[in-house]
A and B are shown apart, each in its own frame.
Chain A
Amino acid sequence: MNKSLYWIICRIAALMLVVITFTPLVMPAGTHGPALWGMPYTLWTGIIVSILLVLLTFIGTRIHPGRKNSEEQ
């Protein structure tokens, strides 16, 4: 697989994470359990989503098609 395909997968994964954020999987209305280390559900799932998005950003920087033909060469 080439980098372009990885980059497409990376973007799809980021978009899916965004969609998931707005579902009851992350934001169940009026529910604050189950807790993790005392943190309410929406908070800890929100933190996980944020970390995953930053991780995807990091992966994106490694596979971005514009990385090689960088403008400053």
Chain B
Amino acid sequence: MIRTLIFIGVIYVGILITFSLIFRQRQKSTNSYLLAGSKLGSVLGLFTFAATLFSTFTLIGMPDFFRTHGVGSWIFLAVSDAVMVFAIIWLGHALREKARNKDFKGLSGLIRDCYQSKFAGYVAFFGAFIFLIPYVSIQIRGISIFLNATFPESLPTWAWALSMVVVMLIYSETGGLKAIIYSDVLQGILLLIVIWIASFVCISYFGDMQNMFKKVEQTNQALLSVPGPKGLFTTQFLLASMLAIVMIPFTQPQVVTRIIIMKDQRSLFRMAVGVGCFAIVIILPTLFLGMYGAVKYPDESTAGFINKVLIQDQSESVAAFIIIGLIAAAISTADSQIFALGSELRSLMKGDDKKVMPITRVAIVFFAAISLIFSLFSSDQLVLLARTSFAGTALMGPMIISGIFSEKEMGPVVPTATLLAMALFVGSLLGLIPNSLLGIRLDITLFVLLLATASITYYVKNNGSLTNDSEEIKS
């Protein structure tokens, strides 16, 4: 397998180098470096969006989630993703309109301009920073524990993590967003092919799908219904997760950027439908991998199970492709996020490119270093960590959406409430405050309160002003 792995690995790295060199030559401004020229077609858009969204979290996390918590995982991710793509066509148009009017450079800058307040921009940046770092770390953590389990004799986990971050930094610093987008296309296709090949192997182990579920029923019947064997999939958990996932396109900067840089409305719409289909097609095989693991490896650790199902039980050439596919998935998602944090910082800074870009590049290295450190100490519960990241950024949803729709200046109430809510959420994660209030999850409570605050503020600011305007016209 090592020979095949080296062969495929060399081809993959060669393609990455080619992309980064091609796009390095074409970088003429901040817009081409950070926003890829803002003319993304539907096919490129689909793959870069999908690759940013479906990553190590999907490839490693979801099979393990199905294995541990059962079929409710489908509702948790696939149904939530389907609602999310509907939300993209519902609200994406307004987001793009506002971004175009405000000369978009990053989400934080957009929110600062919408609220006409630096404080609002800082709140958006703080939220992105606090909650994206764990998400980036998941990618690094997931792939490094997997590589360590696959090649236990070669490198320790921290060395795999460091190597990944170095490759990611060189690549994204050199080629910019356009190079990242092209690597996303490569990763998306690779991911889809390898995961389906692996899942066919798992189904054929049972003969057919019917037999597979019969075996699962004999092993652990609770996996076939909600709330699952550990009782995780309560209505509240699934509802809170759906809210968090639906908010991703409007609150996670790397995803917001991809919506805004689409060439036109038609490309955005096609991309949204494509992502919906991609979600179903990519999550389905993770179900088969998980069910296979539930029967064959119910008591293995995450790394042990993934190593067995994706490497040991596959043919050598398939295993080699899977390893490269996993590395590609982790790199393409993590570099998008780190790069997005750099763009966020850039959007808050004033000044010409020559002065600001070096700071942005240094900041990207800084964010990567923090993610690397966090990845060394984070847990192996990849899906739950990702969910926490989604839930955290989702708290910015009411502030961002009301800011986008408001024609009037919204004032400091909503950004202040958002900052407070994020602090409370972090407090609950650290165990400083309870994570439920009167039996309702804290993330749902905070989201509903923020939604109410944003709605009332929006109504008062816009409706009040409209009344005044019409009165002025009448007089």
Contacts and interface: CB of A to CB of B under 8 A. Distances in A.
Interface of A: 11, 14, 18, 21-22, 26-32, 35, 37-43, 46-47, 49-51, 53-54, 56-58, 60-61, 64, 66-67, 70-72
B273 interface: yes
Given A22-B239, A46-B79, A61-B89, A40 B224 contact: yes
Interface stretch (B8-16, B80-88, B251-259, B397-405): B80-88
Interface secondary structure of A, over-half rule? helix
Interface stretch (B68-76, B186-194, B294-302, B424-432): B68-76
Nearest to B238: A22
Contacts of A29: 225-227
Across the A-B interface, the 7 shortest Cβ-Cβ residue pairs = A38-B210, A53-B82, A54-B276, A32-B224, A61-B269, A40-B224, A72-B264
26 contacts: A27-B75, A32-B224, A32-B225, A35-B213, A42-B75, A43-B71, A43-B287, A46-B75, A46-B79, A47-B280, A47-B284, A51-B82, A53-B83, A53-B276, A54-B280, A56-B86, A57-B85, A57-B86, A57-B89, A60-B90, A61-B269, A64-B89, A64-B93, A66-B265, A71-B100, A72-B263
A18 B266 contact: no
A30 B273 contact: no
Contacts of B60: none
Given A37-B209, A43-B74, 18 more contacts: A11-B90, A22-B235, A28-B225, A40-B213, A43-B71, A43-B287, A46-B75, A47-B74, A51-B280, A53-B276, A54-B276, A54-B277, A54-B280, A56-B86, A57-B86, A64-B89, A71-B93, A72-B263
Contacts of B279: 50
Contact of B82 (A27, A35, A54, A64): A54
B79 A53 contact: yes
A52 to B, nearest CB: 8
Interface string B184-224: 00000000000000000000000011111110010001101
Contacts of B272: 57, 61
Contacts of A56: 86
Nearest to B210: A38
B78 interface: yes
B313 interface: no
Nearest to B287: A43
A22 B76 CA distance: 11
Interface string B223-238: 0111100000101001
A50 B83 CA distance: 8
A7 B264 CA distance: 20
Contacts of B408: none
Given A38-B208, A53-B86, A67 B71 contact: no
Given A64-B89, A70-B264, A54 B273 contact: yes
**Size bracket, chain B contacts:** 35 or more
B37 to A, nearest CB: 14
B71 A46 contact: yes
A38 B264 contact: no
A72 to B, nearest CB: 4
Interface in B73-121: 74-75, 78-79, 81-83, 85-86, 88-90, 93, 96-97, 100
A14 B74 contact: no
A62 to B, nearest CB: 9
B270 interface: yes
Contacts of A14: 83, 86
Nearest to B277: A54
A38 to B, nearest CB: 3
A18 B238 contact: no
A18 B82 CA distance: 10
Contacts of A22: 235, 238-239
A54 B235 contact: no
Contacts of A30: 222, 225-226
B86 A71 contact: no
A4 B222 CA distance: 45
Contacts of B264: 70-72
A72 B214 contact: no
Nearest to A67: B265
Nearest to A66: B93
A50 B208 contact: no
B338 interface: no
